[in-house]
Structure 1
């Protein structure tokens, strides 16, 4: 942050706040980088999911940086695209290799830093056609899936009175798995959701953060509520159509004890060949 001046310096009029005090700028940037880095680590729970989500963001950032004249950051973003694509060939379901914490934390760190550079660079670019008037909301949309998923699970765990850092299976991708989707299908679904939010920000790039941030929050929270209800309905349907565990045990126990009565063999014509 200090040597490269990588920090959030301005709120660009959001809630009437513009330039931030230096101490608050550094504190907010530290919190954002650590939080987003670990949020991306938490989303790495299925084959190909973290790789798919990171490629979409790196492609969007790389294209924007090159188009706006920030060639160095554009090359960095596209270098990560090539690296993740090479990895994703072997990480796609069924995976032969896995990313692990080292990979997901590295990608999360790179994405968070590039998103901060996007926020800062967007304000000073002279190109009006590809300038976002809601840079904070656009950066949030670029990392919308891990950002929302982390806040969601932390709030749910806190409401249950357990530590937010406790591991469980309440993440978004776990809910989609319970609905019957495979690893690759979940990766494509969440990737499609992320692309949808990015396209939304591109379509309304002339609107400010004061408008787009509430829209983003409403859409994300509403989508989460719908997902919870659909998952619950689907799980109930799957349970309703599945045989009961006790019935299966009784059936298997009966089948193991089936014997042919010797009296039946003596009285009936049986082919003994």
Structure 2
């Protein structure tokens, strides 16, 4: 019940502070102006992550003393550091190298100091326990990838919040059942803040979460997913909600952000561009070209994310060597089908529209001037 109260407090603080934050940000002109790749048509304040982070801090200050803090205090410090990296980037854009450096410091706090890392692949691809250097490196890479993958999907009203609420609710529920109360507390406090944020971010959005929110949420989810994987693997055989395909279960929790990032990076590299070059090749852009609105895209992608988590739940007793190929084939098939449908829809739409040259054709032609010849004969004008 304490987790419900913690989530409720985070919800209330976010819900009450968000209108004030929106007014302040509008007054200070801190937000996203329309134009370029922006989908919105008017100025929208950003940095909604401030309210979420403040709500989580308040809720944790009230409830965290009841749970064992030593195992999460460095994680909380890393989350706070990532929040300030995002906050600094929203206020004054950071260089890519400086931004990555700040993220690396936060990652090191989690991987090295908190020891939240992938220590063993448990036979996946024939790999068992990892050398500690490989473990640190691979875990840092995974958290950075998950953090920035989530950051990349924050381009549509309600989408990032919907995906985050699904992930945090799944993680929090699993941690509760396994008695990992401190991790459950973090999950549910963030969940409460995100649900309240969605009231203001749902289409038409009144505020965006910005890097302040997306980096903080992505980093927190990345760290908790690794904690889930390691604690799940340590459960005895036959334990309740133990997933045999540990690696696949971790991927499924962040499946949509990971797929979207891989898809976008692949398309950009094929075009000879850098993987971080901004464009409109995200999944939500394709769905919107098909005529779907913001809210429908968010619900559809959230439902797909939840469906794949449910599929892994059904396959929880099979190995990664079976579960991962099944998930991969389904995801790639859906992605391929999406490309086919979206291209077909765009071609059909273009075909129906009038041609550009016909639009430019002058509708008005020279009118013939009718002359009253009989009248001219009787006039006094000299026609010689």
Determine the structure 1 residue equivalent to 2:233.
123
Matches within 5 A, 1:87-236: 87-126=197-236, 128-236=239-347
Shift of 1:57: 0.5
Shift of 1:122: 0.4
Which one is further off, 235-244 or 95-104? 235-244
Determine the structure 2 residue equivalent to 1:83.
193
What is the TM-score with the length of structure 2 in the denominator?
0.65
Shift of 1:249: 3.9
Q: What SS class does the counterpart of residue 165 from structure 1 fall into? A: coil
Q: 1:260 to 1:114 in 2, by over 3 A?
A: same
In structure 2, what is the Cα distance between the partners aligned to 1:225 and 1:67? 37
Shift of 1:262: 10
Shift of 1:129: 2.8
Unaligned runs of 5+ in 1: 264-273
Determine the structure 1 residue equivalent to 2:173.
63
Shift of 1:31: 0.5
What is the TM-score with the length of structure 1 in the denominator?
0.90
Shift of 1:165: 1.0
Determine the structure 2 residue equivalent to 1:10.
120
Deviations 1:90-109 (A, max 9, x none): 00000010111121111100
Greater Rg over alpha carbons, structure: 2
Figure out how many residues of one structure are paired with residues of the other and give that number.
Answer: 259
Deviations 1:202-236 (A, max 9, x none): 11100111111111111111111111001101111
Determine the structure 2 residue equivalent to 1:266.
none
Deviations 1:71-95 (A, max 9, x none): 1111111111111111110000000
Shift of 1:248: 3.4
Q: What SS class does the counterpart of residue 266 from structure 2 fall into? A: helix
Shift of 1:153: 1.1
Give me the CA root mean square deviation: 1.8
In structure 2, what is the Cα distance between the partners aligned to 1:39 and 1:133? 25
Shift of 1:29: 0.7
Unaligned runs of 5+ in 2: 1-110, 371-384
Runs of 4+ in structure 1 off by over 6 angstroms are: 258-263
